[in-house]
Each structure stands twice: as C-alpha cells, then as structure tokens.
Structure 1
Amino acid sequence: MEKSKAVKRDSITTAKILSDALPHMQRHDGSIIVIKLGGHAMSSPEAMASFARDVVLMRQCNVNPVIVHGGGPMINEMLKKLDIPSEFVNGKRVSDAATVEVVEMVLSGKVNKSIVQAINGQGGRAVGISGKDANLMVCTQAEGDLGLVGDPHTVDATVVQSLINDGMIPVIAPLGAGANGETFNVNGDTAAGAIAAGLHADRLLLLTDVEGVKDAEGDVITSLTAEQVEQLTRDGVIAGGMIPKTQTALDAVRGGVKAVVIMNGQQENACLLELFTTYGAGSMIRA
C-alpha cells in the first residue's frame, strides 16, 4: 500500500512539472538556442547520453539547439601521445602548424562525431560541421604570440540556418578559415558567442564547471546587465577564468543575442532547467 501511494505521489509530481513547463515551452517555441559544450559533459558515456537526451527533447519541443563544442582534454591526450609539446598563454593554446593539425583531427573528427552519434542515438538528427564549412567563421590571427589561433572576423551562418530549417541539429567544431587558406584554432566560448550572434539566437548557454557569476560574498548572481558585469569586473569581483566567459557574453548580447546564461553543465538536465522551469540555472546576462 505504501509503495502504491509513493508511486502515485511521484506520478502527480511528474504531471505537475510537465504542466508547469508549458508556458516556458511556448516562450521558446521556434527559438534558436546555442549551447557551448565543454569537456566535462563528455567525461563519460552516461554524461554524454544525458546531454544528448536533453538536446533531442528540446528539438522535440520545437526549440532549435545548435551545439558548439570544445575538446581540450582530448586534444591534450593526443598531443601527449604524439609527443608534441603544448603551451598556454592567458588560457589560450599556442598553436603552431603541427598543433593545429592535431586540433582539427581531434575536434572535427573524434569529438564532433562522438557528439553527433550520441544525439542520433537518442533519436535526434545531428549533423557535424566545423567553422571552416561554407566559410561559417572566417578568422584573423589573434593578438599575441599564439600562432594559428584565430578571432572570428566574419560569420556567415547560412549553412547553420539551412540545417535548422531542415530539422537538423548542427554540431560545430570551433575551427575557422583564414583569408589565405589557413586553419585557425578558435576558443570554444569565443566561437559559440560569434555563431550565436550570427544567428541572432534567443539564448547562448555557456556550460562550465561553475554555477555562474558570483558576488563578493560568493553567492551566484542570477541576473545581470552588461553594465553590472563591467562594474563587477572593474571591482575585481569577476576575475580569473570568469573574465573571458563574461566577455564572450557581453560580445554576444551586443551582437544581437537576447541573453547569455553562464551555468554549471555538470548539473544533470541543466539546459532543461534553464529553459523549461521558473527556477532557471546559473547567471543570465542581458544587454
């Protein structure tokens, strides 16, 4: 009898959650959501399968997810196997010709196709491309002695929009083309922000390993304007690795993205919590 009551309570709770999600689904109906997927979500088959399920559910609800992924740990592993030294300056990988060759092989090959396979395995229709395809991202060389590290100069999201219109889920490796035929390694957050702006996306979700932007007391700030982000940075409250993420968010909202959310991608169903519940997840930054 007690077991029957527990099942009934669980079923009622589930029904209530689904009912409460309706207005959020309606709000995001037909919208484009760009998701920056980091290595943490690919740390295990279980984590990857959970993320893929969320993405397929989003598409089933007529939300259009676009995945831009990283793959730093996988690149490090391959460089180590090939005995190619790796160096970082201000969080960016110094990329000579040999390094970029490995980066392209790992990102466009192993990592990209594993994400595509995971999404397709959950019933989705994912297609893997890189920023080089159809000149999606044409880059200039980044400042500093970083080698073939690129900053997006122009973004032509036509190919991504075409995939969305055909009901596909684009999965994009952060590589860019140079004006002279070079291949550029692009920071994953930077690439996601540039592509989101090029699509005029409704949301950019930056999945990280922290809960969001925190105030001086260490509490997560759930909502910020661009001006507040700049002030917190000047005050030293936003510091370290959070600076490039918030800078990506500022560039994105000023480029036409309605809002950027910095959130903990290690939390199960994080994307669904952000989009389809009143609670949200992480820190939302608006223009």
Structure 2
Amino acid sequence: MSNNTHNIASVLTESLPYIQKFQGKTIVIKYGGNAMVDEALKSSFARDIVLMKLVGMNPIVVHGGGPQIAKILEKIGKQSQFIDGMRVTDAETMDVVEMVLGGLVNKEIVNLIHQHGGHSIGLTGKDGSLISAKKLKHYIEPTSEIIDLGHVGEVDKIDTSVINLLLKGDFIPVIAPIGVGKDSFSYNINADLVAGAIAQALNAEKLILLTNTSGLLDANGELLTGLDTNIIDELIEDGTIHSGMLPKINCALSAVKNGVKSTHIIDGRAAHAVLLEVFTDSGVGTLITCNE
C-alpha cells in the first residue's frame, strides 16, 4: 500500500476514540470570518458538520455575517460606522442585518448542509423566543461615557426548547445571532457571545470558535494550547492576550467556567479545521479548559 493509504488509515484509526467519546454530545460552533466567504472553505465546513452529525454528535452552528452586511449596506449607499469594532446599528441598518443574517447567510449555510446530505433548519434568536436580548450599554474609557450603538444587544436569556426540539428531530440547527428585547425591538448580537451563551445553556461538550488566526499565539508567534483559566489570567496580565483577542478569550473563559467542558479557538482559513480539532490527538488550534 502507498504511504498516502497508510496515512488515511492512521487518521481514521486515530478518530475512533473521539467518535466514541463524543457520541451524543452537543458541540456549538461559531462560524465566521474567511470560512464564510471562500467557496471551498464553505463547502468543507458544511461537510464537516454533516460528518459530525452522521457519527452521532449534535453540532449546532451559530454564524456571523459582517462582510455580507457591509456589502449590502454599500449597495444601498448606507455608510457603516464602527465604535470599538462594533457596528452602529440604526433601524434601517437593523433591517439589513435581519435580511442578511436571518435570510441570505442563514439559508446559504442550510442549503450547503443539505447539499452534503445533512438535514438542517435555519432560525434566528427571535424564533421560539430562543434569544431574549437587551440593549448593549457600551462605555467609552476613560470617561465611562455611554455610547448609543442603536440596535446592538447582548444576551439576556437563552430558551433552549426550540433547539432541543430540533436535535430530537435529528436536525442541525443553524442560528443567526439576532434577539428580541422586552421592548419588542430586534437586536444584533456578537455571534461569539451568542454561541457561548447557547453552549452554556445546553451544558455543551465543546464550544468551537472559528477565527482568522491559527489560535492564540505567544510573543514568538507560536500556537498556545492546553490552557486553563489560571494560565489565561497570566497571559492577560503579561500582555500576551490583548486587544482584538480579548473578547474571544473572555467568551471562551465564560463558557468553561459555566459548564462547557472545553473551548477551542481554531483557524477557519484551514480546510476541515473543525474535524482536525475534534478528531485528532494534536488538534489545530487553542484548547481551553477550566481548572476549577
């Protein structure tokens, strides 16, 4: 047999204990970044999700869609404004967000999963009161001035009943991060935060965050993995974790401190990154667990 054949057999053998260990377990995947705009990566991601379902896992996809929203806003001549990386979302922009996230992007993911033999249902957090939201209060330092970002929200409560219903029906839920507040307004919520909140509410086995980096890197650009909450605190203190990676790390920490067994930050630019992280010994990203 060729070396390639041996390699394939080795990978399949290596995956067996992980398939056995995670059968019946819930895995929440935040899907975004380059993985959502590159055609080959979109296809490989959908195949990964279908395979996970076929071997007995319960994958749940929570997706973003910033580039797609920006594209539509540009087409209608609407200028995007950002404060600390967050899109200021007036009523007109929120209409576009709902159309893009709840319609175009969500249905494309569902269709890709169907093309690869899976059964999926797309929904937003407004369906079945899945995501109760509240308006995000954003403070500008050092003055602590509150900036009005419009229809930008945060998770207030997750009602998992509609997700559990879909999982019992053997469907793969694909969720757009839009919630509704007690004020009846729709709110656009960061997809990482929604994925983390859903993972916590379901006591998920894993939360996987796809990014446009290979994971958490040290000062020399080397990938860090096998981290616990104490090590993360040290990395924040010494400045290794800073700026744009901080919100993602805080999301990961919150998840593992509130019932999720592990969080993984992986490179969505690599084909089949989800499978490689879940089914191989070495993985491809940063693994974070709770030491408590």
What TM-score does the superposition give when structure 2 sets the normalisation length?
A: 0.93
Q: Distance in 1 between matches of 2:104 and 2:190?
A: 18
* Structure 1, unaligned runs of 5 or more: none
Gaps of 5+ in 2: 139-147
Are 2:48 and 1:45 equivalent residues in the alignment?
Answer: no
Runs of 4+ displaced beyond 3 Å: none
Bigger mean CA deviation after superposition, 43-52 or 193-202: 43-52
In structure 2, C-alpha distance between the alignment counterparts of 1:45 and 1:219, rounded to whole Å:
28
Does residue 1:131 correspond to 2:134, yes or no? no
Structure 1 CA distance, aligned partners of 2:229 and 2:94?
Answer: 34
**Residue from 6, 13, 18 that aligns with 1:12:** 6
Distance 2:3 2:252 in 1: 41
Which of 240, 246, 249 is the aligned partner of 1:246?
249
Correspondence for 2:22: 28
- Cα deviation code 1:85-116 (max 9, x no counterpart): 21111111111111111000000000000000
Could you list the per-position Cα deviations for residues 49-73 of structure 1 after superposition, in whole angstroms to 9, with x for gaps in the alignment?
Answer: 1111111111111011100000000
- Separation in 1 of the partners of 2:91 and 2:98? 11
Residue 153 (structure 1) aligns with: 156
AA aligned opposite 2:83:
V
Superposed displacement of residue 13, structure 1: 2.4
1:19 Cα deviation after fit: 1.5
CA offset at residue 24 of structure 1?
A: 1.0
> Percentage identity across aligned positions?
44
Shift of 1:255: 2.2
Deviates more, 1:102-111 or 1:232-241: 232-241
- Are residues 1:212 and 2:219 paired? no
Q: Does 1:284 align with 2:278?
A: no
- Give the Å deviation of 1:39: 3.4
The equivalent position to 2:274 in structure 1, one of 271, 275, 283, is 271
Whole-Å separation in 2 of the counterparts to 1:39 and 1:113: 17
One-letter amino acid of the structure 2 residue matched with residue 208 of structure 1: T
Q: Secondary structure at the match of 1:257?
A: coil
Conserved in 1, the CA contact under 8 Å of 2:63 and 2:177? yes
Partner letter of residue 55 of structure 2? Answer: C
Match of 2:110 in 1: 116
Letter in 1 for 2:179: G
Matched, 1:93 2:84: no
Deviation at 1:44, TM superposition (A): 2.8
